[in-house]
Amino acid sequence: MLDSAADASRLPPRPHARLHLRISLAAGLSLLLAACASFTPEPLQNWPDPARIQSQTERGATVSAGILSDQEAEALYGVDLSAVGLQAIWLRVENRSAHSRWLMVSALDPNYFAPDEAAVLFYPVLVGDDEKRLTEHFRQLAIPLKTASGEVTEGYVLAPRHEGGRYLTVSLIGRRHVLNFGFAITLPGDDFDFARLHPAKIYAGLEQPELDLAQLREQLLALPCCVASAEGEAAGDPMNLVLIGNANDVMASLSRAGWSFSNVINFDTVRRMIGAAISGAAYPVAPVSPLYFMDRPQDLALQRARNTILQRNHLRLWLAPFSLQGQHVWVGQVSRDIDIKLTSSSSTLTTHVIDPNVDEAREHVLQSLLVAGAVARFGFVGGIEPSTPDNPHTNLSDDPYFTDGLRLVVLLSGSTTTAPEAVGFIEWRDSRDPVREAQ
């Protein structure tokens, strides 16, 4: 008679257990054999696509960049890169200087994959001599790291996959200098809200006054304090963020600072979000529920996600009906999600619970942009009555929050990288200005 689980483990499997084991092995083998296929890469007929390529020139070097879609990469490489979490980044370097320049791949992505390293990931599903052929193909597609004087090099870098697009830093080392090029690359598709952003159409036919800094401050002080619901219910999350820069500069700066784009809300993304909420899995481009300001939902939403959908920083931006010296003004709301709860009042059937210290989320935006070198100047302006942990405000989901009441205002540096110590302050007078209190 057995008196322990250890004794039971020494017995041979029962007949029905053997049957289950055989079925499992057969199913696994069938799946493996089904995955095995001939390696048949195809040249891309319409690449590079001028509409999806960005180029910059500096000191005799022109760099062009783009990202292949998952389908394009699978055709070109002959295997599904997205299945192993990879993405193909296309680069072209034209060197018109008198000396060679080297590509710093680690600046593009410190977690990039070398050609052979990526090829090995597909060995388990290859047959015959396809392992050797695939490895050689991956090597041929890789961009050379050195571009000699007068040469043009072109090829691909394999890096961890980013949904929707990403910010690319392309660094070339030359003789006693480094050239840095920055690109905010988006991928085609209607599943991301940036694809539907058309700033010129938002106020088409309406006059948009151009302001100086003093006039801007007065306009910002006059704006409503908070977001509203679709029904016009006010006093939601505070409007605590203002970014100044054209649409491409805003997306580039935030992407450069580690913020990712967001899916639109549709059947597939809601289903994915609910699944992630139940399992606690990551969804780094999860939809951001609509809130209303100036009688419309946000024009753009970005986020910095954790490895679980329960937690993320996210921000919403609305284009203001005025500009600052030719630059767009984006008024926004930022908060840090720390949990998730089910609700029937949201089209996603879920809503996040925010960190009550909304000022910390606001400061996180500033710090991420400072570290990325994306800030020319910043300051603060009043936005809402202050509140405390003991006497907080509440948002539309009845989450409490406390704040010093200030809005962060950031003038983005655009294509220029500004070191944090070179960033200027916007000299607006406000007794609650934390910068002034610190000086």
- What CATH number is given to the structural domain containing 132? 2.60.40
Q: What does the chain come to in residues?
A: 439
396 assigned to some structural domain: yes
- pLDDT confidence of residue 2: 35
pLDDT score of 422 more than 60:
yes
Higher pLDDT, 84 or 6: 84
Distance, CA of 74 to CA of 158 (rounded, Å): 12
pLDDT tens digits, 389-405:
999 998 888 889 999 99
Higher pLDDT, 323 or 269: 323
| Pair 135, 119: CB distance under 8 Å | yes
Residues 94 and 224 placed together within one structural domain of the fold: no
Average pLDDT over residues 124-136: 92
Read off the pLDDT band of 434 (50, 70, 90): low
pLDDT score of 4 more than 60:
no
Residues 147 and 98 placed together within one structural domain of the fold: yes
- pLDDT confidence of residue 190: 59
Higher pLDDT, 244 or 175: 244
Read off the pLDDT band of 416 (50, 70, 90): confident
Residues 110 and 209 placed together within one structural domain of the fold: no
Residues 154 and 274 placed together within one structural domain of the fold: no
- pLDDT confidence of residue 89: 98
pLDDT score of 81 more than 80:
yes
Q: Domain tally for the chain?
A: 2
Q: How many CA atoms lie within 13 A of 289 on its CB side?
A: 24
- pLDDT confidence of residue 252: 86
- pLDDT confidence of residue 218: 95
Average pLDDT over residues 315-342: 91
| Domain of 268, in residue numbers | 193-438
Average pLDDT over residues 100-129: 94
- pLDDT confidence of residue 350: 63
Last residue of a domain, one of 159, 186, 213: 186
Read off the pLDDT band of 32 (50, 70, 90): very low
pTM for this entry:
0.77
421 assigned to some structural domain: yes
pLDDT score of 433 more than 70:
no
Mean pLDDT of the chain: 85
- pLDDT confidence of residue 348: 56
43 assigned to some structural domain: no
User: Scanning the structure block, which residue is given the tokens 């809130």?
Assistant: 291
Average pLDDT over residues 274-297: 86
- pLDDT confidence of residue 55: 95
Average pLDDT over residues 75-80: 96
- pLDDT confidence of residue 427: 86
Q: Which two tokens stand for residue 349?
A: 């059937």
**Dihedral angle, C-alpha 400, 406, 408, 409, nearest 10 °:** 140
Read off the pLDDT band of 342 (50, 70, 90): low
- pLDDT confidence of residue 389: 94
Q: Which of 41, 153, 51 is nearest to 92 (CA)?
A: 153
Last residue of a domain, one of 136, 157, 186: 186
| Pair 132, 140: CB distance under 8 Å | no
pLDDT score of 224 more than 60:
yes
Residues 222 and 349 placed together within one structural domain of the fold: yes
User: What's the distance, Cα to Cα, between the start and end of the chain in Å?
Assistant: 81
Residues 396 and 323 placed together within one structural domain of the fold: yes
383 assigned to some structural domain: yes
Phi, psi dihedral angles at 170 (to 5 degrees):
-110, 115
| Pair 85, 203: CB distance under 8 Å | no
Read off the pLDDT band of 191 (50, 70, 90): confident
pLDDT score of 346 more than 80:
no
40 assigned to some structural domain: no
Burial string for 361-372 (b: 16+ CB within 10 Å, else e) reads bbebbbebbbeb
Higher pLDDT, 39 or 80: 80
- pLDDT confidence of residue 220: 96
pLDDT score of 34 more than 70:
no
- pLDDT confidence of residue 137: 97
Residues 89 and 143 placed together within one structural domain of the fold: yes
Residues 104 and 171 placed together within one structural domain of the fold: yes
Read off the pLDDT band of 432 (50, 70, 90): low
Share of the chain above pLDDT 90, in %: 58
Residues 200 and 330 placed together within one structural domain of the fold: yes
- pLDDT confidence of residue 270: 84
Q: Which two tokens stand for residue 80?
A: 């599904």
10 assigned to some structural domain: no
**H or E segment to which residue 434 belongs:** helix 434-438
Higher pLDDT, 216 or 166: 216
- pLDDT confidence of residue 161: 92
- pLDDT confidence of residue 268: 87
Residues 154 and 218 placed together within one structural domain of the fold: no
Which one-letter amino acid corresponds to residue 259? W
Residues 353 and 229 placed together within one structural domain of the fold: yes
- pLDDT confidence of residue 310: 73
Residues 124 and 203 placed together within one structural domain of the fold: no
92 assigned to some structural domain: yes
14 assigned to some structural domain: no
Last residue of a domain, one of 148, 164, 186: 186
